[in-house]
Amino acid sequence: MIKTMKPWIAGLCAGALAALAGPALADYPEKPVTMIVAYSPGGGTDTAARTIAKYVEKHLGQRLVVENKPGAGGQIGFSALARAATDGYEIGFINVPSIQLVKRLRDNVPYELSDFQPIANIQLDPVVVAVKTDSPYQTLSDLLADARERPGEVNIGADGPQSNNQLQLAVAEDALDVDFNFIAFDGSGPAVKATLGGEVAASLPSLSSAASHVANGRIRILGVFARKRNPQFPDFPTVSEEAGVEVPSVGASLRGIAAPKGLSPEHLAVLEKAFAAVMEDPEFLAHAESAGLPLEYMNAADFSAYLADAETQLDKYIDLIR
């Protein structure tokens, strides 16, 4: 008797709890949700954040207000997100692997990766190998051959220092057993400019910042650091297939949504559903395509798994760029 009653009582209690909590949760969100962006207004991350904020409103039922907390390579904004309220009204836009690199390469960074609850990944922007159109390097093999002939003398530019691009270069050098002369630039844009001006032999920008120059016929892509070819750019080979060696794509830059740890599962479900819906919204997809945003959706579980995997990868590679 008691045995049969237990689930019944539990069910009743759960029902009563649900009935009590029901109205409050059903109303979430009742007011605009703030989204912390750890970079300045107008940058790539900010543009992506504002674009998604605009289109998610319809699916969330409330406005998503972008709040820029730029500075210190994202550290200020990421730290603010880690300490933000867990009531579901403060979420943030996080950049992977920047959020991990900042933590590992600096002292006294006041957050742990476990302080964040991933909600959804929005973008995945791989690192590419770019040369200018009239470069003597026709394929990645040409570039690698030259680098092996003159170890440490071929200049490669990229955003840096301590960026995801530099990380990708270090991983590639390790996997392919070559040694380039890394030149840090103040962002992917200046690195591409130096490539166009012939100041560096090649550069390692993000795919999104190289794409328009490819369309203009100013640069060529020798390879993309990715597991498989990009459906948007099926002509660009991956580095692994060109080199014949598996090169991990840990440098790829992800942009996703996260909340501070402690967000209730109910709020997480509401947010996850809204972002899943916006990633299928034809208006948003059309806008993202015309603006060249490299979308890649992951739900909360997949995004968490990606982060965990990136952590183990970083254990292996972090010393290469320290």
Partner 1 sequence: MLENMILGLGSAFQPEMLIAVFLGVVGGVVIGALPGLTSTMGVALLIPVTFSLPPQVGLAMLGGIYCASTYSGAISAILLNIPGTSASVATMLDGHPMSRNGEPGRAISLATFASAIGGVASVAALLLLAPQLAEFSLRFGSPEYFLLAVFGITVIASMSSGAMEKGLIAGAFGLILSTVGVHPLTGTMRFTFDMPSLYDGVPLVVALIGLYSIPEVIDLVKRAREEHGNDARVDASGFLAVIPEILRQKVNLLRSSLIGIIVGIVPGVGCSVGGFLAYDAAKRASKTPDRFGKGAAEGIVASETGNNAVTGGTLIPLLTLGIPGNPVTAVLLGGIMIHGLRPGPELFTTNAEITYGFIFSLFLSNLLFVPVGLVIARFGLRIVQVPPAILAPIILALAVLGAYSIRASLNDVWIMLAVGALGWGMAVLAVPRAPLVLGLVLGTLAEGELARSLALVRGDVSAFALGLLTRPISLVILGLCVFAIAHGILQHRRNSKFLE
Q: Which residues bind partner 1 (CB under 8 A)?
A: 40-44, 46-47, 50-51, 54, 66-73, 75-76, 79, 105-108, 152-153, 155, 160-162, 181, 183-186, 189-190, 192-194, 196-197, 199-200, 212-213, 215-216, 218, 287, 289-292
For partner 1, give the closer residue by CB, 49 or 243. 49
For partner 1, give the closer residue by CB, 257 or 300. 257
DSSP structural state of residue 73: G
Smallest distance, partner 1 to C-beta of residue 186, A: 7
Smallest distance, partner 1 to C-beta of residue 248, A: 22
For partner 1, give the closer residue by CB, 128 or 200. 200
Task: Find the farthest-apart pair of alpha carbons in the chain and give their distance in angstroms, rounded.
Answer: 84
Smallest distance, partner 1 to C-beta of residue 255, A: 14
For partner 1, give the closer residue by CB, 25 or 184. 184
Task: For residue 112, count CB atoms less than 10 angstroms from its CB and return exposed for 0-12, middle for 13-18, buried for 19 or more.
Answer: exposed
Q: Which residue has the tokens 């997480």?
A: 268
Q: Are strands 219-224 and 128-132 parallel, antiparallel or unpaired?
A: antiparallel
Task: For residue 57, count CB atoms less than 10 angstroms from its CB and return exposed for 0-12, middle for 13-18, buried for 19 or more.
Answer: middle
For partner 1, give the closer residue by CB, 175 or 196. 196
Smallest distance, partner 1 to C-beta of residue 40, A: 7
Smallest distance, partner 1 to C-beta of residue 292, A: 6
Q: Are strands 90-96 and 253-260 parallel, antiparallel or unpaired?
A: antiparallel
E strand or H helix at 132, and its extent? Answer: strand 128-132
For partner 1, give the closer residue by CB, 43 or 237. 43
Smallest distance, partner 1 to C-beta of residue 36, A: 10
Tokens of 178: 């070559």
Integer Cα distance of 30 and 138 in angstroms: 57
According to DSSP H, which parts of 151-281 are helical? 164-176, 188-196, 207-215, 239-243, 265-278
